[in-house]
Structure 1
Amino acid sequence: MTRYLRALAFAALACLPALACQAGDGRLLATGGAGQIEGAAGGGLVPWAVLAGYGTDDQQGGAAFVTAVRTDDYGLDVIGAAWSWNNRIELSIARQTFSLDTLRDTLSLPTARFRQDVLGAKLRLRGDLVYGRGPQISLGVQAKRQLDFHVPSLVGARDDDGIDVYLSASRLMLAAAGGRNLLLNGTLRATRANQTGLLGFGGDRRSDYSVVAEGSAAVLLDPRWAVGIEYRQKPDNLGFAREDDWRDVFVAWFPNKRVAVVGAWADLGDVATLQRQRGGYLSVQASF
């Protein structure tokens, strides 16, 4: 399975330059979003209804990204890619590596990292981000597999794989915030994931699906710069440690339609018994 996922990732990255000749110039700058930590187009923590790249209704598009998050005791590194067709369907892939050196030393764990692979698909159901009366609405699915399941199983996780299903609504309102463009996004997610799946799926406290809410808001200061906030509600499945909601404050820079850079200050709350996990987030994306 892991070799298959790696092959897909390399194939996606290799194909992205070829898609550049097909990607559209009609969508507004920044409307492709950034690479979300599970591979979908959106913000850093939350998927949006937008699709990756800048392809319009008769074009293809795509994006590849790398992300690093560093808190006091943990690190998360993500590499991913996404491809969209006719601004209707998005396919994505991501590999997450979660470093936990402090927890390993404290609890004498046999590993210092957890890895997870995520395959995603998103379908635009209706609407447009900018035009028309209603928001753009998309239905997404993320199939996840945790690759280092021994420790999560010992603390109560039930499964090493799971599927998240989410529904996102996004709208870019022109000149709505003091003359500047305002982006709003709301997402509902059905999930069994512990810490997005990095600690497995289901637990001794709760094993069935939870419906959680996620949201983003951003103001475009000008066509190239945006500031915003995100919030991601989390289920609480494991008895050994409470799982807190996530939030961040971000700044995004879109120098052109090929590059996006996002910096953020993230607050992940308590993670696996270690308290107040806060720190920096940096993501760089190439779009086609």
Structure 2
Amino acid sequence: MPHTFHSPLRRHPVRHLLALGATAALLAHAPAHADTGKLLLTGGVSTIDGAAGGGLSPWAVIGSQATEGQTGFSAHLSHARTQDYRLNAFGAAVGINDRVELSVARQDLDTGITGTLLGLPGLKLKQDIVGAKFRVAGDAILDSDTLMPQIAVGVMAKRLGSTGLDSTLSALGAKRSGTDLYVNATKLFLAQGLLVNGTLRATKANQGGLLGHGATLGGADNGYELMPELSVAWLLRKNLAVGFEYRAMPDKLNKAGAAAGLGDGLRAGDWKDIFIAWAPSKNVSLTLAYVDLGTVVPATTKGKKQTGTYLSAQFAF
């Protein structure tokens, strides 16, 4: 019998966020809560996968305002809009002792014209993600005057909900669940107001997992691939940062799609963004970005690059 991944967000996502919100309220009044917390924006924001970092790629930082010896909480809501797709994401994370981060997230993709042309109008792909991150070396703040970066390792278990697309993914040899493993290094040059992050992710995920994991049709390579990711952020002032991100994506469905007679109709492109992040207070940050997700199922979108806007709000304690 195949293994079944049970996400805590799968049945009652709103109930879980309300429960985590109540926990955050308690933490805000607990003795362990930081009076000042971390420097603004140095803990990153929330990625669409739920981990702390940029919007697209996780960083080695531990989310929330909590520092060593404390426990903190963060929650986020995000929306991305391109020419043919709409993505909503929400989630929450707990940071423990500035050493461990546990996160949950739900993604909801409106497939737009793609679903219609597949005979599935109104098709939405829902993905649940449970993640864990561990800081293994360095301290971004304390080591800001040295060359030592903060280093973390992480894991993300992903599961795509069942839809009318199941039979298509199965025919391509793609699975609805998979696990990403990653290691990242974040270097903060505090005096210069510059943050640089590099991530190396082992993954089989197609379009971040929203089109399943791996592919076998036509002899497609179904193994893990190492995908690089890069983020650079410049602090214009203590509560305002600008930057860019790059996240390489595997192209596993392309060969399987060709074997199914789709040519390069399932070709995937790398993800990129240019962002501005503003923290009006130590507990709230807002991120606005221009995103370029490359091609997403070009067979149904006339090969257009999927560019558009991304907006995210994070609340951290």
- Counterpart for residue 251 of structure 1: 276
In the superposition, the TM-score normalised over structure 1's length comes to 0.94
Identity, % of aligned pairs?
44
**How far apart, CA to CA, are the structure 2 residues paired with 1:246 and 1:110?**
26
State the partner residue of 2:261: none
2:311 is aligned, of 250, 259, 282, to: 282
Tell me how far 1:8 sits from its aligned partner. Answer: 4.2
Q: Which deviates the most, 278-287 or 96-105?
A: 96-105
Query: Which one of 33, 39, 59 corresponds to residue 23 of structure 1?
Result: 33
> What CA deviation, in whole Å up to 9, does each residue of 1:190-235 have, x standing for no partner?
0111111111111132211111000100100000110000000011
- 2:194 alignment partner in structure 1: 182
- Structure 1 residues 70-125: Cα deviation after superposition (integer angstroms, max 9, x where no partner): 00000100010000110011100000000012112223226511000000101010
More strand by percentage: 1
What is the number of equivalent residue pairs in this alignment? 284
Q: Distance in 2 between matches of 1:252 and 1:81?
A: 19
Per-residue CA deviations over 1:124-168 (Å, capped at 9, x if unaligned) read 101111222311111110010000354154141421111101101
Contact 2:65 2:283 in 1 (8 A): no
Partner of 1:60: 71
Q: Secondary structure at the match of 1:264?
A: strand
Q: Deviations over 1:224-249 (max 9, x none)?
A: 11000000001111132111100000
Matches within 5 A, 1:36-75: 36-75=47-86
Residue 267 of structure 2 corresponds to residue 242 of structure 1? yes
Letter in 2 for 1:126: A
Is the Cα–Cα contact under 8 Å of residues 192 and 209 in structure 1 kept in the other structure? yes
For 2:33 and 2:221, how far apart are their aligned partners in 1? 44
The whole-number CA distance in structure 1 between the counterparts of 2:154 and 2:295 is: 28
Is contact 1:36-1:46 (8 Å) kept?
yes
Task: Describe the SS at the equivalent of 2:191.
Answer: strand
Offset at 1:9? 3.9
Q: Secondary structure at the match of 1:3?
A: coil
Paired position in structure 2 for 1:265: 290
1:40-78 deviation line (CA, Å, top 9, x unaligned): 000000000011111111111111000000000001000
Report the Cα distance in structure 2 between the residues aligned to 1:157 and 1:30, rounded to whole angstroms.
41
Out of 207, 212, 218, the residue aligned to residue 200 of structure 1 is 212
Given the alignment, which residue of 233, 240, 246 partners 1:231? 246
Name the counterpart of 1:105. 116
Q: Residue 258 of structure 1 aligns to which amino acid in structure 2?
A: N
Q: Match of 2:158?
A: 144
Please, which of 126, 130, 139 is the counterpart of residue 119 of structure 1? 130
Q: Tell me, yes or no, if the aligned pair for 1:206 and 1:236 is still in contact at 8 Å.
A: no
Cα displacement string for residues 3-34 of structure 1 (whole angstroms, at most 9, x for unaligned residues): 27665444323312222233322421112211
Question: What TM-score does the superposition give when structure 2 sets the normalisation length?
Answer: 0.86
In structure 1, runs of 5+ residues without a counterpart are none
Structure 2 residue matching 1:164: 3-state secondary structure: strand
One-letter amino acid of the counterpart of residue 113, structure 2: T
Alignment partners' CA distance in 1, 2:159 and 2:239: 36
Identify which range, 130-139 or 209-218, moves more after superposition: 130-139
Letter in 2 for 1:3: R
Tell me what 1:221 maps to.
236
Contact 1:153/1:200 (CA < 8 Å) preserved in 2? no
Conservation of the 8 A alpha-carbon contact between 1:97 and 1:114: yes
